[in-house]
Each structure stands twice: as structure tokens, then as C-alpha cells.
Amino acid sequence: MIAIVTTDAPIAAAHLSQILRDAVGVSFNKITVDSDTSTNDTCVTLASGAAAPGAAPIEPGTPAYRALAAAYKEVCTNLARMMAADGEGATRLVTVHVAGAATDADADAAARTIANSPLVKTAIYGHDANWGRIAAAAGRSGAAFRQEDVSIDIMGMPVCRGGLTVAFDEEEALRRFEAPEIAIDVNLGAGTCETTMWTCDFSHDYVTINGDYRT
């Protein structure tokens, strides 16, 4: 991953660095294809100031700073989603939203474990609304919660409430799996913290592409 974001806004390097760090924290650091990372994973930003020559630099706490920070988050999130959707052999972008966590760390751990689970990713490729795989991933993530408090929706369909299965229309589920983006929503029922991660499914092509990588 190599991402370069540029702006013509007049802003000091230290302040722009903070804006980028905040944006990366909710975008590039929230995507995964298979949990592997690279020594080359990089995001940098450059500012020319050309939009307002001679103007005073944008300062934190001002409307201009908030607008620039929001723009960076929007751009970085869009790029991150595109990267996740473009994973090796991917057929679907997958959005994993975890809410009701006791801490931010728990929310991240649960969402990241679900997003990295080969069983979850292959179930999505197979159009299988297998909520048990999602619950199992959350359970082994280290996040603190009680099974009986968990709710899970797949593509907006309730499939688990109170830690137990909910009857759903299998034909409707198959229809919704045709969408280019699959949403998984998990509420741990343990607090107010939440996060979102993006990943992709695992297809036969993932093995083919990575198995033939050196050739």
C-alpha cells in the first residue's frame, strides 16, 4: 500500500501531520485483506499552500482546520475502501461494524478478528449467512462481552439476537449477497464504543494469485 494525499491548503507541517494521523487511524488502519502487512505500507501527505499564497497557516480549532480534517478523513476512507475492495481475488467489499463494546480496544479487536477470519470471508464468498462464524471470531478476539447480549445483522437482516439464532429468509439472504458490498453489524451489548473495518471475501482466485505470485 502506497497512498499519497496532496492539498493546496496553507497549513504547517506539524498540524497537517496530526490531521493525517487522525484520518489514517479511521481509514487505512481499519482495512485488511488477509491480516498480512508489508514493509512498504505507507501513507504520506504534501501541502503546497498554493490555494492561498501569503495567507496565514490554518490553525487547529478553526472552522478551516475542521473542514480540512473532515476532507482528509473522507478522502482517506474512500481510498481505503477501494483498496479493500481490490484485494486479491475479491468479489465483494465487506464492511464490519462493531458497536456496544466496553472499550475502543475491544471494538477494534472484535471487528479486526471478524474481518480477518478466513471462515467469515469464505462464507461471504459462498453467500452463506453463517452468523456462527462471526460470533466465534468475536468470541476469540479477546473483547469482553457476554454471549447472551450479542446481536448480529448481515446485510440488514437480523440473524442473531440475545446470542441465539433468529429465523430469516434464506432466499432473501441470497438475493442480498448479490450486492457489491456486504455489511456485517455486531452489537456486543457491553458498552458504548464502536468501530468500522473494511475487508473483502476470500475466493478461489485468492489462492491462485498468491500461489503463483513469484511466477
Residues 160 and 203 grouped into a single domain: yes
**Do 103 and 172 have their domain in common?**
yes
In a domain, 215, yes or no: no
Is 189 a domain residue?
Answer: yes
Tell me how far apart the alpha carbons of residues 160 and 165 are, in angstroms, rounded to a whole number: 5
Q: Which CATH number covers residue 66? A: 3.30.2330.10
Q: Is residue 63 in some structural domain? A: yes
- Separation CA 30–CA 80 (nearest Å): 8
Encode 100-164 in three state secondary structure. EECCHHHHHHHHHHHHHCHHHHHHHHCCCCCHHHHHHHHHCCCCCCCHHHCEEEECCEEEEECCE
Tens digits of per-residue pLDDT, 45-103? 999 999 999 899 999 999 999 999 999 999 999 999 999 999 999 999 999 999 999 99
pLDDT under 50 in the chain at which residues?
A: none
Is 162 found in the same domain as 138?
A: yes
Of 37, 62, 85, the residue at which a domain comes to its end is: 85
Same domain as 118, residue 199:
yes
Is 181 domain-assigned?
yes
CB 173 within 8 A of CB 8: no
Chain centroid to CA 87: how far? 13
Q: In terms of residue numbers, what domain contains 67?
A: 2-85
Look at residues 64, 85, 106 and tell me which one is the last residue of a structural domain: 85
Q: How many whole angstroms separate alpha carbon 81 and alpha carbon 145?
A: 28
Q: Within a domain: residue 55?
A: yes
Residue 214 lies in a domain: no
User: At 111, which CATH number?
Assistant: 3.10.20.340
Q: What is the per-residue pLDDT for 131?
A: 97
Predicted local confidence at residue 38, as pLDDT: 87
Q: How far is CA 192 from CA 7, 52, 100, 138, 187, in A?
A: 35, 41, 5, 16, 10
What is the C-alpha separation between 3 and 20, in angstroms, rounded?
Answer: 11
- Give the pLDDT confidence score for residue 215 in this predicted structure: 66
Check whether residue 124 and residue 74 sit in a common domain: no
Indicate if 119 and 38 belong to the same structural domain: no
Q: Which of 51, 85, 119 is the last residue of a domain?
A: 85
Mode of pairing for the β-strands spanning 2-7 and 42-47: parallel
Same domain, residue pair 145 and 103:
yes
Counting the structural domains of the chain, the total is: 2
Closest CA to 180 of 85, 88, 81, 96: 85
Handedness of CA 71, 76, 81, 86 (dihedral sign): positive
User: Would you say 40 and 2 are in contact if contact means Cβ atoms under 8 Å apart?
Assistant: yes
SS3 180: coil
